[in-house]
Amino acid sequence: MDASPGMIAEARRVHPAMSFAVLDTPPTPAWPDESVDTVLLFAVLTCIPGDDAQTRPIGELRRVLKPGGLLYLSDLLLQDDQHNRDRCAGFAEHHDTYGVFRTDDGAVCRHHSRDRLSSLLAGFDSRGTRYITVPTMNGHESVAIQILARKPTPHHHAPTH
């Protein structure tokens, strides 16, 4: 599933044997509890700037993911260079969240602290984390985080820290 009809059309073209659907607006109550094996969030949270707007879909994904199911999240971290500090500081007062910024083409985006992503994934068992350098749409380099997590099975609960 993806919110972009264009991305779904491309996925269907590249993988005609697989099933794809446009996800209009999460949450999706039509999906049964514990009915999905794996969830992939690739730069999704970057496109959702608000705290509550992020928490709701993560809760919905937690609901539909089967016990033992995998969640893979890849997203951009807060960058520590002066350009990014300046643009995030300018938007923090308007969005009540540091890390939100507006791109040159007008999109409102968000980069995340490691702590923010950890709190969003509370209740999942971390299976691994890695950091990579990726090119952004405007040609800069940014550090991204990739997290693999598992929804606990009923007999195994995530450790509390």
Domain ranges of the chain: 31-150
Q: What is the pLDDT of residue 86?
A: 64
Distance CA(54)–CA(49), nearest Å, equals 7
Q: What is the pLDDT of residue 160?
A: 53
Q: What is the pLDDT of residue 96?
A: 59
Residue 124, Cβ neighbours under 10 Å: how many? 23
Q: What is the pLDDT of residue 66?
A: 96
Residue spans of the chain under pLDDT 70: 3, 23-29, 81-98, 156-161
Q: What is the pLDDT of residue 28?
A: 57
* Rounded alpha-carbon distances, angstroms, from residue 5 to 24, 75, 88: 9, 21, 30
Q: What is the pLDDT of residue 95?
A: 54
Checking 88-95 for CB contacts under 8 A at 24+ apart, the result is: 95/49, 95/50
Q: Top-level CATH class of 31-150?
A: alpha beta
Q: What is the pLDDT of residue 85?
A: 57
Q: What is the pLDDT of residue 136?
A: 78
